[in-house]
Amino acid sequence: MSRASTITRLKSGTLYTVTRKGAGSYDTNGIYQPAGSPTTFDITASIQPLNGRQLQELPEAYHAEEVKVVYTATELRTRTSTDAPDEIAIEGSGWYVIQVKKWEALGETHYEAMISRQVSP
């Protein structure tokens, strides 16, 4: 059985909506200017609690946050110097991608992403 079909069979919801937007920038007066319009798309995913090893691998600033892991065949993105992190809507709350691992095996690719529920990314 392929990894993509395994994720589909073990999905924890029908579809999750991901919002992707640029990070914006500061103008010459030091005023923050948000990026253009965000894009949204749906993903199929299995969202699970962290296991002990995953908890140890969290970036230090996130040890006190509510964190889950997402398994999906869709590439998700964390914060970069030019982009804000992807936001996943789960039961009405925004969850931000804080870490992504890409796994490739048997000609297939899937992603293991840690997400954190926060007031702001």
> Can you give the residue ranges of every domain in the chain?
3-22+37-117
Q: Grade residue 34 by pLDDT with cuts at 50, 70 and 90.
A: confident
- pLDDT score recorded for residue 4: 56
Q: Which distant-in-sequence residues (6+ apart) come within 8 Å of 53 by Cβ?
A: none
- pLDDT score recorded for residue 15: 87
Residue 109 CB neighbours (<10 A): 13
pLDDT at 31 over 70: yes
Q: Grade residue 37 by pLDDT with cuts at 50, 70 and 90.
A: confident
Q: Distance between CA atoms of 97 and 99, rounded to whole angstroms?
A: 6
Q: Which distant-in-sequence residues (6+ apart) come within 8 Å of 45 by Cβ?
A: 7, 11, 12, 13, 16, 70, 71, 72, 74, 88
Secondary structure tally for the chain: helices H, strands E: 2, 9
pLDDT at 36 over 80: no
* 3-22+37-117 topology per CATH: Thrombin, subunit H (2.40.10)
- The reported pTM is 0.76
